[in-house]
Amino acid sequence: MGERVKLELDGEIAVATLNRPEKLNALDTKTRMELAEVIEGIEEVARVLIITGSGKAFAAGADINELLQRDAIKAFEATKLGTDLFSRIEELEIPVIAAVNGYTLGGGCELAMACDIRIASEKAKFGQPEINLAIIPGAGGTQRLPRLVGLGMAKKLVLTGEIIDAQTALRIGLVEEVVEHERLMERAKEVAAKIIEKSPLAVKVAKKALNASINMPLKEGLRYEASLFALLFSSEDAKEGMRAFLEKRKPEFRGR
């Protein structure tokens, strides 16, 4: 494992920490490659992944010195690395929580948006400031942001390059929760622990259905949901969950 992304396991919770505080955890090529290595096989060792940053930033965008060296072909290749990485995070079978500790700009904001749940410190700042460099977001900023905050608000943020605080991010739907800075990781782990109590199979299927909802017409989505709902009735976990409820005891799920 490299030095730019630290991985720790706390029971069934994995914590990946971006570790370039002197560069505000800028997502250069090497950092993105290390993060890709970290998440490879993460589903085999953890039930929930938390991604956070060290120092004052979650991730403050790309490395500008690296951007300056690129022509169009190199820029496309580099942003494809980011796009593929963030899509892989979004498609992990386990839930991913972004514990947003500070500056979350450009590619950092795109990374946070690829996570399933975003919990922000009161000190967090968000933005897609690429327009200030005469470029645009290249790893999901123009695609995931409208899905989270609406098209009009996404246009405002992308076209102005405005940086917003955590409470504004909460109000517009960019994050799900804001907590005191000192409680950020504690709260992220509380949410992770609550998820871990559930059937791993049901969590996996629920995430798959929810991710599909933004890409399917309603009628098709409803049919897909119904098929997944019915499929779970063939699982041992579903039977255990229902029996435990009727017997007023804590269920013992086995993920099958």
Assigned token pair, 177: 């929760």
CA distance 49 to 36: 13
110 is catalytic: yes
Tell the burial category of 114 from Cβ atoms under 10 Å away from its Cβ (0-12, 13-18, 19+).
buried
Asked whether the beta carbons of 122 and 180 are under 8 A apart, the reply is: yes
Residue from 130, 176, 177, 220 carrying the catalytic annotation = 130
* DSSP reduced 3-state for 243: helix
* DSSP reduced 3-state for 21: helix
Residue from 34, 44, 93, 110 carrying the catalytic annotation = 110
CA distance 198 to 132: 44
Name the residue among 86, 226, 58 with its Cα closest to residue 145: 86
Give CA torsion, residues 147, 151, 152, 153, to 10 deg: 30
91 is catalytic: no
Active site residues: 110, 130
